Amino acid sequence: MFTAFAHATLPDLRVCEQARLSRDARFDGLFFIAVTTTRIYCRPVCPAPQPKPTNITYYPNAAAAEAAGFRPCLRCRPELSPSDGAWRRGDAAVARALKLIDEGALADQSLSQLADKVGLGERQLRRLFNDRLGASPIGVHGTRRLLFAKQLLTETRLPVTQVAMAAGFGSLTRFNTTFREAYRMAPRDLRKRTELAAEDRIALRLGYRPPYDFIAMLQFLRGRALPGVEFVDETSYARVFGPAEAPGWLRVSQWNDKPNDHALKLELHGAMPSQLLTIVNRIRRMFDLDADPQAIAAALSADERLRPLLKKRPGLRLPSGWDGFEIAVRAIIGQQVSVAAARTLTSRLAQHFGTALPTPFSAELAHLFPTPEALADADLTSIGLTRARAETVRTVSRALLDGRVDFHAERMLEDFVARWVALPGIGPWTANYIAMRALGHPDAFPADDLVLQKAVPTQPDSAKAGGTRMTAKALTARAEAWRPWRAYAVIQLWRDSMPAPKPTNAL
């Protein structure tokens, strides 16, 4: 019979076996199937013929499989799997360390420096990774780099030198050697297997676990889109990004090459190779592509108010934002005004104080959002902001510049909120909203939100929204049972309080 790597986060072996046999995409990225006869590891959705159970070993992640000497399958391509969201979300030390690794912390820093950032000793961090992930931090970092390089070699026409740079290798020789040792082929050999059309843009496939309601995500972003900076239609999201001297644009849409292809399509134009991994990580966070809907629903469905909402919208995700400062400014301007009014004022701010592109990419994509430097001393009352809101935006701009607040991945939610509320004009609602939409923090909870207080009745059998309004204290107590996924409860309740949109299907 099959065997399994001894690991706390690996699903029950019977679940793994059933998911493997049915090729269940809901488990994509939650475990990998290693075949001892071929020394190859696959995703649960791999279309290849099923191996004999006696030749199977299950691993919780790609790094653990590669640490055991297995190579990624060229057919199902493990690099397309969403990450195990449970270990890359929240405040646990391993989660914060993984986020830092995703941001490239080990590319230019030592393991001891990474451990210091999450408040652990180097030996303790290494032990936690081995116990819970089955691989060392260095192993996770190495697998991450190689799999991203493998995706670029397969899906783009970038020269191998630029692929090496994009994956964080400072030397082409080192990249070739590492790739050959790990995958038993040269990078150029992998490229020979694919035919790619010549284009002026890069297109990458970003996988997710179903269900995923992409239409609902676009509806949320469209109501907040800033003209000139972003453009959202019924099928895609687009925006410009900096720096001003070398701007680019991106577009995110549904990948429709195959039926049941659970992925989004990221198109990039003007991105430098060194930016690619950062951009991909930002988009994955922004569109919440690494969430595990089953784990979230299991935790929140115990609440009678949330259970029917999760059943009705199982694919609803947490919409984050492209840039932390941009989200912070939006949150400040949005204090005590409608979403439409906040969008109007923020659009004026972007047009007046942002950077106009000398050559716009299109009529819809012509401005970069202003930087903290541009707003630190700006006269923001000229665009209609109240003096109080204008001063808060300036205060936040200065605080980001001098390091009093930040968006660092190692920051725990409680510490993040405390730093932000210490600034004049920033209260708990604003700080938690920023944590939700700038960090994508799954447990951020703006308990002072009026819509939430009205949406959750004081009694389980009370009328839905519009009944008794809860206090922030009572709402916080009720939400204790929703941890560590309170932000997902917020999104469900906000969505339920909106006017009913046209019927759509989760993708």
Q: Which residues are catalytic?
A: 42, 449
Q: What is the dihedral of CA 256, 257, 259, 262, to 10 degrees?
A: -60
Q: Token pair of 248, please?
A: 């680019």
Do the Cβ atoms of 70 and 40 come closer than 8 Å?
yes
Give the C-alpha separation, 220 to 436, whole Å. Answer: 14
Give the C-alpha separation, 38 to 56, whole Å. Answer: 10
Return the closest-CA partner of residue 76 out of 122, 126, 32.
32
Give φ, ψ of 204 to 5 degrees: -120, 145
Give bridge partners of residue 33 from the DSSP assignment.
42, 58
Which CA distances in Å does 85 have to 28, 128, 151, 208, 281?
11, 17, 20, 10, 13
Give the C-alpha separation, 230 to 361, whole Å. Answer: 11
Give the C-alpha separation, 23 to 124, whole Å. Answer: 36
Q: What is the CA radius of gyration of the chain?
A: 23
